[in-house]
Structure 1
Amino acid sequence: MVTKSSRPTVADIRAMKGRGQKISMLYVTSVEEAAAADAAGVDMLSIEGRFFTPEMREATGRCFVQVGLPYGPAGDLVTSEDYLKTAYHFMRIGGDCFYCAASLDIQKALCDNAVPVVAHVGLIPSQCTWTGGFKAVGRTAESARAVWDHVKRLEAIGCFGAELEVVPDRVAELITRNTPLIMLGMGAGPHADAQYLFSEDVLGHTAGHRPRHAKTYRNFAAEYERLQRERIAAYREFISDVQTGAYPEPQHVVAVADEQLSAFKASLGL
């Protein structure tokens, strides 16, 4: 059994950056994906709070787990106290660090209470209306400087790391080499501290838009389609058996002794 003391810590992840060691990171949504990531040796996992349960923590094994705190219209956290209570709840379950894309004052409140915070810079999906939608950020000197300044503000309030999403590779390299924050790269080139992908992209069953930085290693979509065809076929066979009387067979029913059935009928006057 994996104990809390045997899992990586914030200090361990920071040491990986200090050694220049690349960090593998996946976003997962199921116990099966979490267990597979642990068995494969993935370093970090990102799990939204809605999926993070004691069972999920157990499945993640030795992986360092980032728990996503809900934010924006889909979330129900508003105040610093809301975020802090939720972070403490997930910390008790076994979260190792906490994704938070809320305001700097909320992020600082978490940091001030020794909660390891992972912020978000570059393309921030929940705030992308301010940067022109779902597209790269940092392609101009002005935009790159804005990303740099954002990182420096996160440093100042004590953040542990930041997701660095869809930023030009050379801009990401300059930022990563000049910050103590763990930079979790998603579409930010090879120089970020971590390479972060969604499990659905890695396994080839992406729902909706497949980002440019995604790399697919298996074709689960075809397997899921095959399984769905088999599921429908099995259901149709079941319906046919019900209609023809082929189901249930003797092994599917509970037997009763003749004398007991006779006594039951007699009690009913039948």
Structure 2
Amino acid sequence: MSHTSATRRKTIKDIMKAKGHHKLVCLTAYTAPIAQMLDEHCDLLLVGDSVGMVLHGLPDTTAVTLDMMIMHGKAVMRGSQNALVVVDMPFGSFEESPQAAYRNALRVMQETGCQAVKLEYNSAAPETIRFLVDRGIPVVAHIGLRPQYLHVEGGYKVAGKSEESRKEQLECARQVADAGAFCVVVEGTKDEVAREISDSVPIPTIGIGASVDCDGQILVTDDMLGMFDKTPKFVRKYAELKSQIEQGVKAFANDVRREQFPAENETY
């Protein structure tokens, strides 16, 4: 049985064709209502493991589980119809072996209906990416600053500061592109190094705390909308929702205590 739809969700090919033609707009989404609001304006929605910190109050991303990612991935797919949806592979779900990564990525793809998964670079990443892509699972790679490795690296460290680090990041980018990743997130990387990476690989680069010369940009939506007082240097706030929410809650509380809510026209 065939059916037609008024909208067409962006594809892997659409994302890859953007390189050198137009900038890719990417944001994080974790819930259906937010996904619906972002969908019209974004090429790619990332169900990031940052959900652990943003929505669940965790101190970092290492405690995020596969089940959490699948739950939020389902919600974002239900709320979107235009953007390509990518779901993060959480810490511990892909490092053991390519076979384990495949089993977990297959779960993510089948249970959420998303179009791709994202995984952070490690020494086994090229082999894992190739294994997944060969079996029909599209992959976005993640290089530069890697939040899942904060304990190994002693915190969140900007990549590309030294010549050694510059060469390392260029090699990481080359490896993931050669392995079949269709896109690479470049996080927390010196501007000139991120620019060099973008020029050196045939796949689109998505910057976060990197260079304006990346092929696209991504931010954590809640950071960009001003939901938190403290945000990384690379975040530009386009709204101040935290203060607006606090003002709204304060007004509601005052009205309730003064018996000014609900009014006659707000009851049955």
Structure 1 length-normalised TM: 0.77
Alpha-carbon deviations, 1:3-40, whole Å to 9, x = none?
Answer: 598211111111111x431001101222221111113x
Change (3 A) 1:237 1:90: farther
Residue 132 of structure 2 is matched in structure 1 by: 110
Q: 2:116 is aligned with what amino acid?
A: C
Change (3 A) 1:9 1:114: same
For the 8 Å contact 2:190–2:210, the answer to whether it is kept is yes
TM-fit CA distance, 1:90: 3.1
Change (3 A) 1:132 1:54: closer
For the 8 Å contact 1:67–1:95, the answer to whether it is kept is yes
Of 121, 124, 136, which aligns to 2:143?
121
Change (3 A) 1:146 1:132: farther
Larger Rg: 1 or 2?
A: 1
5+ residue gaps, structure 1: 242-250, 253-270
Q: What is the Cα-based RMSD across aligned positions, in Å?
A: 3.0
Matches within 5 A, 1:1-270: 3=5, 6-17=8-19, 19-39=20-40, 41-48=41-48, 49-72=69-92, 78-92=96-110, 93-101=112-120, 103-104=124-125, 105-206=127-228, 209-233=230-254, 236=257
Change (3 A) 1:76 1:146: closer
Give the Cα–Cα distance (whole angstroms) in 2 for the partners of residues 50 and 94 of structure 1.
10
Give the Cα–Cα distance (whole angstroms) in 1 for the partners of residues 4 and 37 of structure 2.
15
TM-fit CA distance, 1:59: 1.2
Q: Report sequence identity in percent.
A: 23
Count, aligned residues: 238
TM-fit CA distance, 1:55: 4.1
Residue 57 of structure 2 is matched in structure 1 by: none
Structure 2 length-normalised TM: 0.77
SS across alignment from 2:18: helix
| Structure number with higher relative contact order (C-alpha < 8 Å, ≥ 6 residues apart) | 2
5+ residue gaps, structure 2: 49-68, 262-266
Give the Cα–Cα distance (whole angstroms) in 1 for the partners of residues 251 and 95 of structure 2.
42
TM-fit CA distance, 1:82: 3.7
TM-fit CA distance, 1:165: 0.6
